[in-house]
């Protein structure tokens, strides 16, 4: 099975503005393997032992990438709104859609729209060494529409969406990263019929403790979302999925990060 990918123009990709990249590890979530970008460099530092809340307007760098992937034939993907992260408000914007219809002879075909947004703080905090108490808070508002129409009992169709957020702690000096247990996700999949879901103002707050060596650290917030449609290659199955981040009068945003 060959998979074709293309980035949609206009999405801002990571550049030298992120600083020196030390390595590119990966994190598997929601069935997707995504890169985590690492940076180094110092800015203003929060004193050790202080309780500090990072909130909008943020200081740092951002990237937004919008990518369509297809396998086989009969699939399309698009981004009515390209993926972005706003330092001013902490808002993640974007919308993706995918559709797939059976048109091949064997196996499965799929189409996917995958958006990723990254924020890396230029403000840093100092840890004297030991356990730090951390809190990451998001406010979620989105709409997802899924449709799956299998051709018959031997043919498959599925439609899915997912959104997920991660917090990483980056060592400013050595480029080491510390993956946290702050991951959260929302996802849904159907294999027949239709499903429409609207979420407004859902607050997601994750508390955890991290054992950190003495040093100066950045925070990195990583957000991804996808809309995916899949069908049997042979037959008459159809599927479609769309996901809109934010709603009229509502936004999907990174609210705050707290360290103590």
What pLDDT was estimated at residue 11? 40
The residues, ordered by sequence, that sit 6+ positions from 72 with a Cβ below 8 Å of its Cβ are 1, 103, 104, 107, 108, 109, 110, 233
Q: Residue 246: name the closest of 205, 201, 210 by CA.
A: 201
Burial of 61 (0-12, 13-18, 19+ CB in 10 A): buried
The residue assigned the tokens 């060596």 is 213
The residues, ordered by sequence, that sit 6+ positions from 70 with a Cβ below 8 Å of its Cβ are 3, 4, 76, 77, 109, 110, 111, 112
What pLDDT was estimated at residue 14? 33
- CA torsion sign for 99, 102, 104, 109 is positive
User: What DSSP element (H or E) covers 102?
Assistant: none
Burial of 49 (0-12, 13-18, 19+ CB in 10 A): exposed
What pLDDT was estimated at residue 34? 42
What pLDDT was estimated at residue 22? 25
What is the C-alpha to C-alpha distance for residues 8 and 78, in angstroms, rounded to an integer? Answer: 8
What pLDDT was estimated at residue 105? 74
pTM, two decimals, is 0.82
What pLDDT was estimated at residue 175? 76
Q: Residue 101: name the closest of 67, 69, 68, 76 by CA.
A: 76
The upper half-sphere exposure of residue 178, i.e. CA atoms within 13 Å in the direction of its Cβ, equals 20
Q: What is the pLDDT along the chain (260 residues), one digit of tens a residue?
A: 455 566 664 444 332 222 222 222 333 334 443 433 333 333 344 444 567 889 999 999 999 999 999 998 889 999 999 999 999 999 999 999 999 999 877 889 999 999 999 999 999 988 888 888 999 999 999 999 999 999 988 899 999 999 999 999 988 887 788 766 668 999 999 999 999 999 999 999 999 888 889 989 999 999 999 999 999 999 999 999 999 999 999 999 999 999 98
**3-state DSSP percent of the chain in helix, strand and coil, to 5:** 0, 65, 35
What pLDDT was estimated at residue 75? 94
What pLDDT was estimated at residue 5? 60
CB 61 within 8 A of CB 17: yes
Burial of 258 (0-12, 13-18, 19+ CB in 10 A): middle
How many domains, in total, are found in the chain? 1
What pLDDT was estimated at residue 127? 87
- Residues 98, 99, 102: CA angle, nearest 5 degrees: 145
The residue assigned the tokens 């993907």 is 77
- Domain region containing 188: 3-259
The residues, ordered by sequence, that sit 6+ positions from 221 with a Cβ below 8 Å of its Cβ are 118, 119, 136, 165, 166, 167, 254, 257
């Amino acid at each position: 099975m060959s998979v074709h990918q293309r980035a949609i123009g206009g999405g801002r990709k990571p550049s030298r503005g992120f600083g020196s990249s030390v390595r590119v590890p990966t994190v598997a979530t929601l069935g997707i393997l995504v890169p985590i970008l690492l940076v180094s460099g110092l800015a203003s530092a929060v004193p050790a032992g202080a309780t500090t809340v990072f909130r909008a307007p943020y200081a740092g760098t951002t990237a937004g990438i919008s990518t369509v992937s297809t396998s086989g034939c009969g699939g399309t993907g698009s981004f009515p709104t390209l993926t972005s992260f706003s330092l001013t408000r902490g808002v993640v914007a974007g919308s993706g859609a995918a559709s797939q219809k059976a048109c091949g002879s064997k196996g499965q075909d799929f189409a996917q729209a995958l958006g990723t947004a990254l924020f890396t703080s230029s403000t840093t905090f100092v840890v004297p060494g030991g356990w730090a108490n951390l809190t990451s808070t998001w406010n979620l508002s989105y709409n997802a529409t899924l449709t799956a129409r299998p051709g018959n009992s031997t043919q498959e169709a599925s439609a899915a969406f997912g959104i997920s957020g991660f917090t990483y702690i980056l060592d400013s000096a050595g480029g080491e990263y510390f993956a946290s247990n702050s991951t959260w996700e929302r996802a849904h999949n159907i294999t027949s019929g239709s499903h429409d879901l609207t979420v407004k103002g859902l607050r997601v707050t994750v508390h955890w403790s991290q054992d950190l060596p003495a040093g100066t650290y950045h925070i990195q917030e990583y957000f991804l979302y996808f809309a995916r449609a899949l069908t049997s290659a042979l037959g008459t199955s159809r599927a479609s999925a769309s996901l809109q981040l934010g709603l009229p009068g509502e936004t999907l945003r990174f609210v705050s990060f707290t360290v103590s």
